[in-house]
C-alpha cells in the first residue's frame, strides 16, 4: 500500500495538470473509526503508515499500530480537563504531548511505554504564559513556545527528550507586535528542520510574521508574510519546511464563513522572505505538511477541505472537502489527518 500511495503522489507530480483528472485519480483520505466522536484532535504525529498518535480535547490521546483499524485510548490519567493540541512521537512507544491554556493548564507529558504510563515533565506556573506548540530536532532536543510574556514570545527547551524543560533567555527574541500570538490550531505553529533550525508562526498583530532561529531558539529574526493579519482570528496558523531552505505557510481567518484571501505563502530562503501563492487554497487552512520523497508535493488541511500542491506551494487545488485540523506524513509516505468529531484519516490512492 505504501508503494501504491507513493506512486499516486508521484504521478500527480509528473502528469501535466490538464491530464491529471482523467489519467490519475488524486489520493484521497480514508476515514478510520477512532471511536472518539466527541473529541477534536488537533495534535497528530505520524510515525508510519501503520503507527500514528492523535491528541485532543478532554485530555485524550489515542494510538494505532495497525493503520487505523483499531485505536487504543492511552490518555494520561487525571488529564480529562486538559486540552491537548500537539503531540510529537519518536516511535510506537515514545511520545511527548502538550496541553495548552493559561497558567497551569499548559503542561507537558511524556511516555516511554506506548502510553501505559505518563510522566508530567512540565507545568507552567506563570499566569501570563500560554503554550501553543512544540517541535523536536531529534529524539533528545526540542522546544515549546508560549504566547508573548513581557512583550516577547517565550521558548521552553529540552535536551533529554522532553523529560525536563527550562525557559530560555529572551534576550535574542525580538519584541512581539501588539496583539501578536501563536495559534494552537494544529501543533504546527512551531516547526523545525535539521539539527538547529526552527520557525515560529504568528498572527493577531498588525502583520502575520514568521520568526526563525538557527541556534535552537537562542536568537531569532522576524519576517513579515503576505498572509493577512490585523485581527485576532487572522494570521499564519501552520508552517512546514522540507529542509532548512524551502518552507510553506498557511493560515487565513479561522472565523467560520469569513473569506481568507492569500491563505498561503512560500519561502525559498529559509523564511527570510515570503511570497504569496499564485493560486492559494480557497479558504482558511490550519495544517500543512510536505510529502516525503518529493521536492514539490505538499498537503494543506482545514475545516472546509484538503488542498494539494505539486509545484512546491505556488499553486494549490482542493482534493477533498472533509473537515481536518492537522496533517502529518511519515518517512514511509504514511500521511494522516485529524480533526473534529473524532475524525482521523489516512491517505490512500
| Distance, CA of 53 to CA of 122 (rounded, Å) | 20
Residues 6+ apart with CB under 8 A from 4: 349
What pLDDT, on a 0 to 100 scale, did the predictor assign at position 12?
Answer: 46
Buried b (16+ CB within 10 A) or exposed e, 110-129: bbeebbeebeebbebeeeeb
Question: Can you give the pTM of this predicted structure?
Answer: 0.93
Q: How many residues does the chain have?
A: 349
Give the residue from 231, 188, 191, 185 showing the smallest Cα distance to 208.
Answer: 231
The CATH fold assigned to 2-30+131-348 is Neuraminidase (2.120.10)
- Strand pairing of 130-136 and 95-102? antiparallel
User: DSSP characters for 257-324?
Assistant: T---TT-EEEESSTTSS-EE-SB--SS---EEEEPTT-SS-EEEEETTEEEEESSTTSB-EEEE----
What pLDDT, on a 0 to 100 scale, did the predictor assign at position 3?
Answer: 34
What does each of the 349 residues of the chain score in pLDDT, given as a tens digit?
Answer: 333 454 455 444 444 444 344 344 567 999 999 999 999 999 999 999 999 999 999 999 999 999 999 999 999 999 999 999 999 999 999 999 999 999 999 999 999 999 999 999 999 999 999 999 999 999 999 999 999 999 999 999 999 999 999 999 999 999 999 999 999 999 999 999 999 999 999 999 999 999 999 999 999 999 999 999 999 999 999 999 999 999 999 999 999 989 999 999 999 999 999 999 999 999 999 999 999 999 999 999 999 999 999 999 999 999 999 999 999 999 999 999 999 999 999 999 8
Q: How far is CA 50 from CA 1, 34, 47, 64, 339, in A?
A: 11, 14, 8, 7, 19
Q: Output the CA torsion 329→330→331→335 (10° steps).
A: -50
Give the residue from 110, 109, 78, 105 showing the smallest Cα distance to 93.
Answer: 110
What pLDDT, on a 0 to 100 scale, did the predictor assign at position 27?
Answer: 73
Q: How far is CA 132 from CA 73, 129, 330, in A?
A: 23, 10, 22
- The domain locations on the chain are 2-30+131-348
| Distance, CA of 10 to CA of 13 (rounded, Å) | 5
Q: How far is CA 37 from CA 33, 54, 197, in A?
A: 9, 13, 37
Amino acid at each position: 500500500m505504501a508503494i501504491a500511495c507513493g506512486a499516486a503522489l508521484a504521478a500527480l507530480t509528473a502528469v501535466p495538470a490538464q491530464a491529471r483528472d482523467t489519467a490519475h485519480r488524486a489520493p484521497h483520505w480514508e476515514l478510520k473509526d477512532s471511536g472518539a466522536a466527541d473529541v477534536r484532535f488537533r495534535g497528530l504525529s505520524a510515525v508510519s503508515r501503520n503507527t500514528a498518535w492523535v491528541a485532543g480535547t478532554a485530555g485524550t490521546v489515542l494510538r494505532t499500530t495497525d493503520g487505523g483499524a483499531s485505536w487504543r485510548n492511552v490518555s494520561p490519567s487525571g488529564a480529562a480537563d486538559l486540552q491537548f493540541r500537539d503531540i510529537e512521537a519518536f516511535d510506537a512507544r515514545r511520545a511527548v504531548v502538550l496541553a495548552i491554556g493559561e497558567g497551569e493548564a499548559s503542561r507537558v507529558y511524556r511516555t516511554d511505554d506506548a502510553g501505559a504510563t505518563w510522566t508530567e515533565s512540565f507545568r507552567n506556573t506563570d499566569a501570563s504564559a500560554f503554550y501553543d506548540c512544540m517541535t523536536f530536532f531529534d529524539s533528545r532536543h526540542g522546544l515549546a513556545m508560549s504566547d508573548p510574556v513581557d512583550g516577547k514570545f517565550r521558548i521552553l527547551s529540552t535536551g533529554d527528550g522532553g523529560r525536563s524543560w527550562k525557559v530560555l533567555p529572551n534576550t535574542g527574541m525580538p519584541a512581539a507586535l501588539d496583539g501578536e500570538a501563536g495559534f494552537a490550531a494544529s501543533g504546527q505553529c512551531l516547526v523545525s528542520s535539521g539539527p538547529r533550525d526552527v520557525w515560529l508562526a504568528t498572527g493577531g498583530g498588525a502583520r502575520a510574521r514568521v520568526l526563525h532561529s538557527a541556534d535552537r531558539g537562542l536568537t531569532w529574526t522576524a519576517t513579515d508574510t503576505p498572509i493577512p493579519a490585523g485581527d485576532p482570528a487572522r494570521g499564519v496558523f501552520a508552517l512546514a519546511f522540507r529542509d532548512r531552505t524551502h518552507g510553506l505557510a498557511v493560515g487565513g481567518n479561522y472565523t467560520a464563513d469569513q473569506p481568507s484571501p492569500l491563505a498561503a505563502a512560500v519561502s525559498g530562503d529559509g523564511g527570510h522572505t515570503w511570497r504569496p501563492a499564485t493560486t492559494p487554497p480557497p479558504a482558511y487552512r490550519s495544517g500543512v505538511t510536505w510529502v516525503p520523497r518529493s521536492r514539490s508535493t505538499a498537503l494543506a488541511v482545514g475545516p472546509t477541505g484538503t488542498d494539494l500542491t505539486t509545484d512546491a506551494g505556488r499553486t494549490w487545488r482542493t482534493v477533498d472537502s472533509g473537515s481536518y485540523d492537522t496533517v502529518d506524513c511519515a518517512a514511509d509516505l504514511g500521511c494522516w489527518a485529524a480533526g473534529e468529531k473524532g475524525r482521523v484519516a489516512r491517505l490512500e490512492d
